[in-house]
Amino acid sequence: MKRAAAGSPPAIVALDLSVAYEGRPALTGVTFSVPAGTLAGVLGPNGAGKTTLLRALLGVVSHTGSVEVNGSTSYVPQLSAVDRTFPVDALGVVLMGRYPRLGWLRAPRANDRRVAAELLDQMGLSDRARSPFASLSGGQRQRVLVARALAQEGEVMLLDEPLTGIDAASQEVVLRVLADHCADGHTVCMTTHDLAQAARVCDRLLILDGRLVAEGPTREVFRPEIIRAAYRAELLSLDGETALVHHGVHPAP
């Protein structure tokens, strides 16, 4: 287990990053950096530009300003982007993570299959390796997609809403694996709507609302006034559970 050495260059640097879709701004003037070896959470309300930020980091949307990702990337898109009916089993999906390194001529070798099987085991799915992807639960599918990203062996992993719509047990597995991945010196940047989980597991937070509201270590950023500014809602904490209470939305008496 190793963490990135102190003083090493940041894994992600964005300077005055702006993205617009057909003239409509999605992100404006975002500047931040993520140190290597950290788990960064990207928070913000719907339409805040979280997915757009990841797409800019991946280089698949045109932008102004500069973005620098030091090292190869691996990616977990939103679960809803996947064709769940495609005829492939869980092991086959994880093996896809090895395809970019294989090129056209080489088929996956025994080592690739061993790595894929180990990653499925790490995700607690070794008994589902030969199960069709379509037959898995939402949480199991998400774990398979995270295993596919791990199989890419990128230095910086970007995840879009990996905790959305999955069961608590799968969330725990995903978060544990991501924490271990960071402890091994990799950098993880994930978008999420789950404020409580983000506050609990992330080293750093970026809070977006079409622009950068705040960024920095979690303990400095996860503050009521900052959350209020981004979400236009109050942060309510009861018995360890965190919830957002939106202004003007009150239950009927």
Partner 1 sequence: MPPPFDAPYIERALLAGVLLAVPFGLLGTWVVLRGLAFFAHGVGVATFPGVVVGLGLPALGPIAGSLAAAAGFTAAVSLFERDHRLRGGAVTGLVLAIALALGGLLLTSVFRVAAPVESALFGSLLAISGADVVRCAAVALVALVTLVLTGRSLAAATFDREWAGPAGLRPGRGDVLLLGLLALAVVTALPAVGSLLVSGLLVVPAATARLVTDRLAPMQALAVALCALETVLGLALARTLDIPPGSAVAALAGLGFGLVAAVAGLIRRARHASRIGAGA
Least Cβ distance, residue 81 to partner 1 (angstroms): 4
Q: How far is the CB of 161 from partner 1 (least distance, A)?
A: 12
DSSP the chain: ---PPTTPPPSEEEEEEEEEETTEEEEEEEEEEE-TT-EEEEE-STTSSHHHHHHHHHT-S--EEEEEE-S-EEEE--GGGS-TTSS-BHHHHHHHTTHHHHTTTPPP-HHHHHHHHHHHHHTT-GGGTTSBGGGS-HHHHHHHHHHHHHHHT-SEEEEESTTTT--HHHHHHHHHHHHHHHHTT-EEEEE-S-HHHHHHH-SEEEEESSSEEEEEEHHHH--HHHHHHHHSEEEEEETTEEEEEETT-----
Nearest distance, CB of residue 230 and partner 1, angstroms: 26
Q: How far is the CB of 112 from partner 1 (least distance, A)?
A: 11
Round to whole Å and give the CA distance between 66 and 32.
Answer: 11
Find the binder of partner 1 among 9, 16, 86, 217 (CB under 8 A). Answer: 86
Q: Which of residues 140-159 bind partner 1 (CB under 8 A)?
A: 145, 148, 152
For partner 1, the closer CB: 88 or 196: 88
- Residue 82 CB, nearest approach to partner 1 (Å): 5
187 is a site residue for partner 1 (CB under 8 A): no
Stretch 121-140: interaction string toward partner 1, x if CB under 8 A: -----------xxxx-----
| Strand order across the 39-43 sheet | 73-76, 156-160, 187-191, 39-43, 204-208, 212-217
Q: Which is nearer to partner 1, 104 or 110 (CB)?
A: 104
Closest distance to partner 1 from the beta carbon of 93 (Å):
7
Residues contacting partner 1: total by CB under 8 A: 32
Distance (Å, whole) CA 67 – CA 14: 4
Query: What does the block give as tokens for 157?
Result: 């992993």
Enumerate residues 56-85 that contact partner 1 by CB under 8 A. Answer: 58-60, 73-78, 81-83
> By C-beta, is 163 or 230 nearer to partner 1?
163
Parallel/antiparallel/unpaired status of strands 241-246 and 156-160: unpaired
**Using the rule CB under 8 A, which residue among 23, 87, 248, 251 binds partner 1?**
87
Closest separation in Å from C-beta 39 to partner 1: 20
| Among the residue ranges 11-19, 101-109, 185-193, 238-246, the one whose residues contact partner 1 (CB under 8 A) | 101-109
Sites of contact with partner 1 (CB under 8 A): 58-60, 73-78, 81-83, 86-89, 92-93, 96-97, 99-100, 102, 104-105, 132-135, 145, 148, 152
